[in-house]
Structure 1
Amino acid sequence: MSNGADRKISLPTIARVALANFDLYSNEPNACAVIERPVFCLIGANGLGKSTFLNTINFAITGAIPDPGRKFQSAQDYLRNAGRADRSDDYFSGRISEHARPIASVTVDLAWPTATVSVTRDLFGTAGVTRLAIGLASGATDIHEASDDDGGDLSALYRAKVLALSGLEDFAQFVFLMHFVATFDEGRHLLMWDDAALTNALYLAFGADPVAAKAADKLQRDMDRESSRGRNVRFSARHVADRIKQLVDLLKGAETDDHATSAELQTQHDALVARQAEAEQRMRRKQAELRDADLKWTDLSASLTETQLEYRRLFSSRLRQTSSVDHHPIVRATLSEDRCALCGTVHVATRIQAALDKGDCPLCDSVLDRSGADAGAVAQLQRLDREIARIRDGLATILDSRARISDEFAAAQASDEAAAQALREFEEKEAAGLAKVQSGSSFSAIQQEIDKLEKERLEFLAQSEAHYRKRDELRDQLRAYEKALKAQYEAGSERFVPRFRELAEDFIGLPIDVELEHRQGANDSGFGLRMRMDDQLRARPDAVSESQRFFIDIALRMALSEYMADSSATLLIDTPEGSLDIAYEARAGSMFSKFVAKGNRLLMTANLRSSQLVLRLARLQKSAGMQIVRMTDWTDLSEVQQSEEALFTQAYDAIDAALT
């Protein structure tokens, strides 16, 4: 680990993870894991939610869900995208049931050498902090609860506290470190071969201070933006130059000055314009018809529901009012058993039925009211029944109509696109001839258009040059930071590179080395680490096997995290043991143990199978150093997995035996 002289960052350890109403875990929706040992391993079968557990931890800590397609441009841009509330809502929607959405939350307790922070976030509605407990130096705890009007302030308080404890300049830097360096998740993002993300990590690990890292990150982002703007404007200038050339060729007589040809060209163009307009109009008509069909369907569906409810109410009322004696439980029991349900007298069913047929009450001989009320109710029910049938017929008709209109709308869209494409291609091909037609064969008008376009081209070129000058100014400023980082890396590499070699070689079994590569092109900047394996350059990830690149990348994260932290480093790893053969599984377990032996911590997930990685790690760490949590305590196996439950039990037993 780094000593105090060259440290920059103090990273937290994860002390506790508490889920509330997280019903993805059906057996334990309020699961709570207290992280008591250097290695915490959540182990279970595929599809039970191991990866979700790690992503939920990161969500609690950073307010953002790690993005598996995480193309890195800058820390700020990444946080803006990954930290959107709708992104976290979308992620948890497929994992948390509808009734648990308003009450599902996660709490993570973080520990720094000088303080503790407990942060709670609701899983839906906002990515903001809803509860914050800060452990003070005095031993007291300062607790803050969010209300509707101060949730943003609580998130700001949490961010400020994290930055103060971590020694970072910007919360986006903290999110970057958690997602890109401290976490190796199901996205399998490779830091070693992502120069943009690696450059940012190197600034934070080896740079003079986080302020410089933030400034370099901004300069890189601004430089890329100016370079992109310069290219875009220059492209526009080339497009204008092409139009000028067409008009110049027209003035030189390169195009045939034939009145009949010009008239024909205008006719063709007008026909294409009319065809495109007609196609667009038809598409809009079909779109309106489709909306109208949907509206009719909605109205009829609501009408059907209302009519069915009225039918059920009337039917229930009729049963209560006109048929209550016939259907009374005592009467029905007496008739079915031929025994009085009140006194037990037998052979009374005939007399009871005769009284009912006569229209009298079988108990008191009163005349039952079977007047027009019942007949009116029946008539009303018949009317409602006919109305329900009519509405259903209408719905069936609308469905048929909507299917037809939908097909016609799709065809109209295709026709509109084809007509628009035909018009574009004609205008591009006949640009010069159309310009001649539209100018009325006036060469002076064409020359005026050329002069106008030339002025526009020069303006584009001037804008492009301005953007490139600005890019060069930013690049010169960035070079000063890069020069400083290069010197700092050379000094720090005396400790960082040997540690990376030690971890990577423990897994790969071959000599490993890395060297810093500084990119210095006109539009290029930043750094990469070029790896050599057995003295062979491996510049691309596909130059090594899948398992090699995964665990070499994990070794890089371990070495970087260990180097930049002034205390223990914590890594979150969704173990990619599926890519390993049995020999490499054991070596990976040894590599993990070597990382932990330096006082660092691992929070990992693993598949429940005869994994030599977990077994080797368990044998090396024993129960004092490794904590196993079974996912089968939290949630049920699938039907297929249940049929092989004995195999899972054997795997658990083998790991438990290795720990003792």
Structure 2
Amino acid sequence: MQRKYNFIKLEKVNLTNFSLYTKQGKTYQVNEVINKGVYCLAGANGLGKTTFLNAINYGLTGIILDPHRGILSPSEIESENKVFADQYFTGRIQKADLKDASIEITFSVNKKFFRIVRGFINRDELKAFEIFSINKDKIAVSLLDTKAKSPKQLNELYKEHLVSEVGFTDFDYFVFYQLYILTFDETRRMIFWDDRASYNALSIAFNSDPAEAVQVSELARRIDKYESNGRNARWQATQIKNKIDELTQKISKKKPKNIEVLEKEYNKLFDDLKEYENSLKNNKIEFDAMLRKQSYINSEIMQLRSEHTKLFSRYSKPRSKLLESANVILSLKKQECCICGAHGNYVVEAIEKTIHKDACPLCKTAIDITDSKEQGELLKVIEKNDIAISEKNEELQRLFQEIDFKRILVEKFEIEVETLTKKITEFDEDYPDLRFNKTGDEQADNLISQFQNQFDHYDTESKNAYKQRDKLKPQYEKLLKNVEIAYKEGEKVFVPIFKRLAKSFIGYELEINPKRDSKTIKLILELKDSARTQASQLSESQRFFLDIALRMSLLIYLSKPQSPGTMFIDTPEGSLDIAYESRVGTMFAEFATRYNQNMFMTANINASQLLISLAEKCGKNNMTFRRMLEWTDLSIVQKEGEKLFQKVYNDIEKALNKGK
């Protein structure tokens, strides 16, 4: 088993002067002890559950993710989210309290304890930082001298020591895993269906050399940048060339196109190409899944036929004298009755029909069947086997039709991609190859000359960017191949973990397979033998909680013995089908009890069946249940449902008391 990281486990969380949580006019001082297993913070909407989870991640990383940004590579997370992080707590904390407000987090990692205090301004600073251990007398023993260190130095020390204890090569990678993989928050970012998230998660998880994981991410970022720069420069060149067209009126004897029209045409070509490339990739994946299913069904049919032969041999044993008779064998071979001389196919059919009866077909003497009951049971099994073979053959025929249809789609998309690629190439090459005559107007000719110089500059810049991109691709593809190989080595442990967790939620056997192309490597989910390449191919609750199951599986697979990690889940109960509520509770409980991992979760009390199921399976030894009613006042609307809230809380407490 891989087990290469010491993930963190929360121990205590304290919030000071966090004025969002106000009870009867006074700021509530949050002091939470986080026990092993599941910590669940439950309450009505609007009380600040998500804010508390975000505050913890802010304390650990100094970052709050901007919900309007997609998943970024590790090196981009801090720079692209710092403005949002700086503003996030404005309004949540009163201006008068902001200076003194802070979050204090104590967590364990690699048998050591870290304590950090981070303010809600100056996010790149720490007010306090210490590392300590607990001796046999339960006394804290300091392991690091942080005296005379500035707040910024404390923050840098924290990042350095945390990375060392966890096992990541860089703090950026801790941030990536903490915020994108180990946290499922209100933004609902998916790993299964996001290429960038997938290849970063896999390159970190399945890589024998941590330095290569860094290279994969950095190369992908640089390739994307060069491609973007190349496209932007190409468009600048095209716009300038269009200005030249307007001045000369002599391009291919055609009236010059309007810039806006040309821009739309150019962008549409790229958009269409991207769409068809994506469709081609997804349909190829689904086509491959169908071919695997075809192979699997053929294997099942062969197995059923083999079983049929064995069963029939047992059934026919008492009749072996008839079956092995030279006259019978000769009659069947020649299709001619050895008694009356009749000839034809019907002779064979008649012999085969009567030969298996309980008496000799000629003299009607009973055949000695020592156990007629067993023979009858065998015949029933044979009949069931025949039905199964027939059903599998029908399923195979239907699959053949689906495969033929999918093959046509793949071929269609391949043609579209090839056609669009050719059009873009022609579009790019059309203008540079033209030479423009002078207009005879000195001022216009000078302007054309300036435009031509600008065009040459952007044209060269575009070509150079694409060349730089292409230089990086061989190394990038080699690193992706290494990730794929490492995944194959680890999937014997990782995949069964995922399948168990996923089945406890969805009730079906699932498969996940790696898929690598020139741009990325990702995991493809297969449900009921069908590849689900797009999130829309599953219900909202299915895709959310299967993605959570994937994250849990990665944490279990990667965490070292005696160093369980913590999942942070803002439960998406609003999307949860009623039928799935208790099953989610089962999956969460499996994660905490069977695999000894930890979970910090927030939940709306409306998802009571989920919480009751979880409480029953975890019990008080593995679950802490906290009510947000103790932290803050209810709104007028919430007060109207307070009795209902109380009943739900009581039901959950009862489930905890009678749980494991």
Measured against the shorter chain, the TM-score band is 0.5 to 0.7
Letter in 2 for 1:92: F
The answer for the alignment partner of 1:477 in structure 2 is 475
Shift of 1:168: 0.9
1:408-450 C-alpha deviation (Å, 9 max, x unpaired): xxxxxxxxxxxxxxxxxxxxxxxxxxxx9xx9x7357656655
The answer for the alignment partner of 2:195 in structure 1 is 195
User: CA-atom RMSD, angstroms?
Assistant: 2.5
Q: For residue 40 of structure 1, give the secondary structure of its aligned residue in structure 2.
A: strand
The answer for the alignment partner of 1:647 in structure 2 is 644
Letter in 2 for 1:79: E
The answer for the alignment partner of 2:543 in structure 1 is 549
**Could you tell which deviates more after superposition, 6-15 or 234-243?**
234-243
Distance 1:507 1:48 in 2: 28
**Could you tell which deviates more after superposition, 623-632 or 497-506?**
497-506
Q: For residue 564 of structure 2, give the secondary structure of its aligned residue in structure 1.
A: coil
1:59 aligns with 2:79: no
Shift of 1:71: 0.9
Letter in 1 for 2:195: D
Counting matched residue pairs gives 466
The answer for the alignment partner of 1:155 in structure 2 is 155
1:553-607 C-alpha deviation (Å, 9 max, x unpaired): 1001101111122131210111112222332000000000111121101111111
Asked if the contact 1:88/1:124 (under 8 Å) is kept, the reply is no
Q: For residue 140 of structure 1, give the secondary structure of its aligned residue in structure 2.
A: strand
1:107-128 C-alpha deviation (Å, 9 max, x unpaired): 1111013311111101134442
Letter in 2 for 1:190: M
Cα distance change of structure 1 residues 251 and 195 upon mapping to structure 2, 3 Å threshold: closer
**Could you tell which deviates more after superposition, 456-465 or 446-455?**
446-455
Counterparts of residues 545-624 of structure 1 (less than 5 Å) = 545-566=539-560, 567-596=563-592, 597-609=594-606, 611-624=608-621
Cα distance change of structure 1 residues 45 and 223 upon mapping to structure 2, 3 Å threshold: same
Distance 1:459 1:70 in 2: 32
The answer for the alignment partner of 1:492 in structure 2 is 490
Counterparts of residues 440-519 of structure 1 (less than 5 Å) = 442=440, 453-519=451-517
1:31 aligns with 2:30: yes
Unaligned runs of 5+ in 1: 256-435
Asked if the contact 2:515/2:522 (under 8 Å) is kept, the reply is yes
Cα distance change of structure 1 residues 451 and 87 upon mapping to structure 2, 3 Å threshold: closer
The answer for the alignment partner of 1:140 in structure 2 is 141
Distance 2:161 2:80 in 1: 23
The answer for the alignment partner of 1:11 in structure 2 is 7
Distance 1:477 1:610 in 2: 48
**Could you tell which deviates more after superposition, 68-77 or 580-589?**
68-77
Unaligned runs of 5+ in 2: 256-435
The answer for the alignment partner of 1:280 in structure 2 is none
- For residue 124 of structure 1, the aligned residue among 87, 98, 121 is 121
* TM-score, with length taken from structure 2: 0.67
Asked if the contact 1:130/1:145 (under 8 Å) is kept, the reply is no
Shift of 1:502: 1.3
Shift of 1:70: 3.5
The answer for the alignment partner of 1:93 in structure 2 is 90
1:480-516 C-alpha deviation (Å, 9 max, x unpaired): 2111111111111222122111111211112321211
1:173-197 C-alpha deviation (Å, 9 max, x unpaired): 1111111001111111112111101
Counterparts of residues 182-581 of structure 1 (less than 5 Å) = 182-249=182-249, 442=440, 453-520=451-518, 525-566=519-560, 567-581=563-577
Cα distance change of structure 1 residues 573 and 248 upon mapping to structure 2, 3 Å threshold: same
1:207-261 C-alpha deviation (Å, 9 max, x unpaired): 1233211121111111111111111222223233334444554599999xxxxxx
Cα distance change of structure 1 residues 251 and 169 upon mapping to structure 2, 3 Å threshold: closer
Asked if the contact 1:105/1:122 (under 8 Å) is kept, the reply is yes
The answer for the alignment partner of 1:177 in structure 2 is 177
Cα distance change of structure 1 residues 146 and 70 upon mapping to structure 2, 3 Å threshold: farther
Distance 1:460 1:649 in 2: 67
Asked if the contact 1:251/1:443 (under 8 Å) is kept, the reply is no
Cα distance change of structure 1 residues 650 and 60 upon mapping to structure 2, 3 Å threshold: same
Cα distance change of structure 1 residues 240 and 655 upon mapping to structure 2, 3 Å threshold: same
Letter in 1 for 2:531: L
1:48-76 C-alpha deviation (Å, 9 max, x unpaired): 11111100100111111133234123111
Shift of 1:466: 1.5
Distance 2:251 2:485 in 1: 61
Letter in 2 for 1:30: Q
Distance 1:449 1:609 in 2: 69
Asked if the contact 2:43/2:629 (under 8 Å) is kept, the reply is yes
Shift of 1:89: 4.0
Letter in 2 for 1:141: S
Q: For residue 93 of structure 1, give the secondary structure of its aligned residue in structure 2.
A: coil
Letter in 2 for 1:33: E
Letter in 2 for 1:535: D
Q: For residue 230 of structure 1, give the secondary structure of its aligned residue in structure 2.
A: helix
Q: For residue 124 of structure 1, give the secondary structure of its aligned residue in structure 2.
A: coil
Cα distance change of structure 1 residues 505 and 252 upon mapping to structure 2, 3 Å threshold: closer
Distance 1:638 1:446 in 2: 70
1:104 aligns with 2:98: no
Cα distance change of structure 1 residues 245 and 557 upon mapping to structure 2, 3 Å threshold: same
Letter in 2 for 1:647: L
Distance 2:52 2:502 in 1: 27
Cα distance change of structure 1 residues 48 and 144 upon mapping to structure 2, 3 Å threshold: farther
Which structure's CA Rg is the greater one?
1
Cα distance change of structure 1 residues 136 and 624 upon mapping to structure 2, 3 Å threshold: closer
Q: For residue 67 of structure 1, give the secondary structure of its aligned residue in structure 2.
A: coil
1:638 aligns with 2:631: no
Asked if the contact 2:183/2:569 (under 8 Å) is kept, the reply is yes
1:518-571 C-alpha deviation (Å, 9 max, x unpaired): 131xxxx11222211111222111111111111011001101111122131210
Letter in 1 for 2:536: D
Shift of 1:639: 1.4
Q: Identity over the aligned pairs, expressed in percent?
A: 35
Distance 2:555 2:478 in 1: 25
* TM-score, with length taken from structure 1: 0.67
Cα distance change of structure 1 residues 609 and 459 upon mapping to structure 2, 3 Å threshold: closer
Letter in 1 for 2:559: A
Q: For residue 654 of structure 2, give the secondary structure of its aligned residue in structure 1.
A: helix
The answer for the alignment partner of 1:354 in structure 2 is none
Cα distance change of structure 1 residues 639 and 473 upon mapping to structure 2, 3 Å threshold: same
Distance 1:462 1:252 in 2: 23
Asked if the contact 1:40/1:626 (under 8 Å) is kept, the reply is yes
Asked if the contact 2:62/2:123 (under 8 Å) is kept, the reply is no
1:312-333 C-alpha deviation (Å, 9 max, x unpaired): xxxxxxxxxxxxxxxxxxxxxx
Q: For residue 620 of structure 2, give the secondary structure of its aligned residue in structure 1.
A: helix
Distance 2:449 2:90 in 1: 59
**Could you tell which deviates more after superposition, 157-166 or 72-81?**
72-81
Cα distance change of structure 1 residues 250 and 46 upon mapping to structure 2, 3 Å threshold: closer
Letter in 1 for 2:635: S
Asked if the contact 1:73/1:221 (under 8 Å) is kept, the reply is no
Asked if the contact 2:66/2:85 (under 8 Å) is kept, the reply is no
Distance 1:199 1:620 in 2: 35
Cα distance change of structure 1 residues 112 and 247 upon mapping to structure 2, 3 Å threshold: same
1:116-153 C-alpha deviation (Å, 9 max, x unpaired): 11111011344421110111587512577798x82111
